[in-house]
Amino acid sequence: MEEKINKVAQMIDKAGRIVVFTGAGVSTESGIPDFRSPGGLWSKFDPDDFTIDKFLNSAKTRQKMWKLLLDGGLMADAAPNAAHLAIAKLEKIGKLSCVITQNVDNLHQKAGNDPAHVHELHGNMQWLICLECGQKYPLELLTKNIPSVDYVPDCKKCGGILKPDVIFFGEALPQNVLSIATHESQECDLFIVIGSSLVVYPAANMPLYAKRSDAGIVIINLGETQQDDIADVIIDHSAGDSMTKIMERLKAKGLDARGEAAPHKIS
């Protein structure tokens, strides 16, 4: 573990353009449940109930969706954990080009990453959008005073259907975000995967693009991923602890208390 931590710190120190790619394994350490693992949301709810077609055409499905969001913890006011803070620190010291995330929880922004540098492939749960007029609402405005368990909010402007501003099954990823993420992946010299098993496409194409462009690949994830074979370093450990150790190693070997690079390199 110590050898791997040191290796990743060396790679970060030498890199000029780093992309961090995050999945659910980052946010579970903030108490946000994932979807696919045992005990995850899909063990409690049927994902087939939450296609975009069913959401649009069935009031019962919309009611189920709001119940999932409320009961499943996706609307909780979670706080960033050590991994999010470490990623924000990479931006502060001028190493991070961007974050590409599969998560919809807004925690990278809360941790201090510039929202302009966080590319959310699957949307952001902190916003609701009206499918009729396009009006957007912060989630908190509509969840402060929920009148009943059967509550389904509608647009205050036109009465239209409100949808969480995230990608449902059957919806395409936003093409502008996908295009930016693809470009960033192809242009980086170090690509760090944190908390993703890399099974969901097209998001999981991003490390492949980076590898084809000769970027170094680091994977930090509990358990195997589908792209372990392309990684230069694999750390099978928690995201928060791993990233904390990596940042401590960087600071010990070249970063001062303000996060400014010192003249010497990590040896």
- Tens digits of per-residue pLDDT, 2-18? 999 999 999 999 999 99
What pLDDT is attached to residue 60? 86
In the block, which residue shows the tokens 């949301």? 41
Query: Which CATH number applies to 41-75+125-166?
Result: 3.30.1600.10
Homologous superfamily in CATH for domain 2-31+81-122+172-252: TPP-binding domain (3.40.50.1220)
pLDDT digits (tens, 9 = 90+) for 21-58: 999 999 999 988 766 555 555 555 666 767 889 888 98
pLDDT of residue 9: 95
Is the pLDDT reported for residue 106 higher than 50? Answer: yes
* Summary mean pLDDT of the chain: 86
Label residue 265 by pLDDT band (50, 70, 90).
very low
Q: Are 72 and 41 in contact (CB under 8 A)?
A: yes
CA angle, 98 then 172 then 176, to 5°: 40
Q: Residue 69 forms beta bridges with which residues?
A: none
pLDDT tens per residue, range 155-204: 989 999 999 898 988 888 999 999 999 999 999 999 999 999 999 999 99
Place of tokens 């450990």: 237
Q: Helix, strand or coil for residue 103?
A: coil
Identify which of 251, 188, 234, 231 has the alpha carbon closest to the alpha carbon of residue 20: 188
DSSP 255: B
Among residues 47, 49, 68, the alpha carbon closest in space to that of 200 is found at: 47
pLDDT for the residue 103: 94
Taking residues 240-244, report their average pLDDT: 97
Does residue 258 or residue 187 have the better pLDDT? 187
Confidence of residue 154 (pLDDT cuts 50, 70, 90): confident
Contacting residues for 157 by C-beta, under 8 A, at least 6 apart? 130, 133, 135
**Domain extents for the chain?**
2-31+81-122+172-252, 41-75+125-166
The reply to whether 2-31+81-122+172-252 and 41-75+125-166 are identical in fold is: no
- State the catalytic residue, choosing from 108, 122, 183, 264: 122
Residue 143 — pLDDT band, cuts 50, 70, 90? Answer: low
pLDDT of residue 47: 67
Q: Residue 258: which pLDDT band, with cuts at 50, 70 and 90?
A: very low
Q: Is 237 a catalytic residue?
A: no
